[in-house]
Structure 1
Amino acid sequence: MSATRLLVLGVVRMYGRAHGYQVRRELLSWSADKWANVQPGSIYHALKKMTTEDLLEQIDVEPGDGGPDRVAYRLTDVGEQEYQLLLSKALSDPELNHPHLSAAISLMTTLPRARVVNLLRHRLVHLEAERRQATLMIEELKASMELGTPEHVGELYRLWGGISEASFDWLQGLIARLEAGEYVMADEQGGAFGEPPADPAE
């Protein structure tokens, strides 16, 4: 799974219709080039590839400002299904970490509140298991010191445990904030960030 793929679908969906320059400009405004390594070439490649996969369709060609023509795209029904699938997986699958989770958090408001909470709770269960595993490994390391295991190896387990602990605390906090009503979500009034316009021509 590609974080770029999810982000490009999300931005085209948000605009209703968008060309590559709009997608690039929007993602740069999110600093996605830094936290998801989204490069201009990968954006245009994703647009073309997903068009061949019938996830996007070309709907217009606009004259470029002194450069090549700009092709406008919009999501197909299949593209909408792919977007929903990729976003749900990135929120819930513990195997997908940064930048996938970062992309999913950027777009989470395009899903209903209860669905996002449920997806994040699934991830939380796995993070709890990671925390327990890290604790056990540190305890096992202490016992193995007598057998000649280098003591500094324990820093690897402490690092893993620290990352797991911090991730668990952050995720618990995010779930609590969502349950308390923070952020406008797709199933609520107020215009959730990332939701497409009612009229794609807007």
Structure 2
Amino acid sequence: MSATRLLVLGVVRMHGSAHGYQVRRELLTWSADKWANVAPGSIYHALKKMETEKLLEVASTDGHPGGPDRTAYRLTHDGETEFQHLLAKYLAESDDSAQGAYRLAAAVTFLPALPRDKALSLLRHRLTQLGGQRASATDLLEHGTDWGQPEHVTELYRLWLASIEAQERWLRELVARLGSGHYVMADDDEVAFGTPG
């Protein structure tokens, strides 16, 4: 699944109801086209698809003179469940693909939608997975050319290891910040970012 799905659900959730142009404008002001690979056309496609999947429902349709009708959507109960599921999954599961990086970026965007302890638990789970990936990358560096690969391939293993170590460092620091009370989260007294409108 793509980062776009989580981002669209999150923006609609945050606004209470939103039409495609609002979602597109919001995501583009966040530069999500760059850090989450969100194409403007994919936003409208995601809205329609999630309506057919009963994750979104029509909240209103406004007609505009000289322009197309604008359909505003809101999350259904199943849409809220899907939002929470994707948010948890993308925070907890370490995936070193490009899509995995986009999904993590989307999840971090809506991190405050979670209770603090749940967010910490998911991020610690991700850290555990990264530890396993670091062990694999280290093993490949130590024995990589033993299986007949060209020697320069070890540079790919070094790149992978450096990426894992950078993610681990960032995650440990994020866990420490969250644990010490940084950021307003869903279970805090203040209104957290992404709280339904």
Aligned to 1:4: 4
**Counterpart of 2:124 in structure 1: which amino acid?**
R
Alpha-carbon shift at residue 94 of structure 1 (Å): 1.2
What TM-score do the two structures reach when normalised by structure 2? 0.94
Matches within 5 A, 1:144-183: 144=146, 149-183=149-183
SS in 2 for 1:59: strand
1:147-181, Cα deviation, whole Å (9 max, x unpaired):
86432121111111111111111111111110011
Query: Take 1:88 and 1:65, find their aligned partners in 2: how far apart are those partners?
Result: 42
CA distance in 2, matches of 1:40, 1:120: 30
CA distance, structure 2, for counterparts of residue 141 and residue 100 of structure 1: 30
Q: Percent identity?
A: 59
- Equivalent position SS for 1:99: helix
Distance 1:81 1:184 in 2: 22
Kindly state the Cα deviation for residue 141 of structure 1 after the two structures are TM-superposed.
Answer: 3.2
Amino acid at match of 2:19: H
Structure 1: segments with no counterpart, 5+ residues: 198-202
Three-state SS of the structure 2 residue aligned to 1:189 is: coil
Task: Confirm or deny that 1:195 pairs with 2:195.
Answer: yes
Q: Give the corresponding residue for 1:200.
A: none
TM-score normalized by the length of structure 1: 0.91
**Over the residues paired in the alignment, what is the CA RMSD in angstroms?**
1.5
Structure 2 unaligned regions, length at least 5: none
Residue type of the alignment partner of 1:166 = A
Letter in 2 for 1:173: E
Aligned to 1:53: 53
**Distance across 1 between alignment mates of 2:59 and 2:175:** 39
More divergent stretch after superposition (23-32 vs 128-137)? 128-137
Aligned counterpart, 2:185: 185
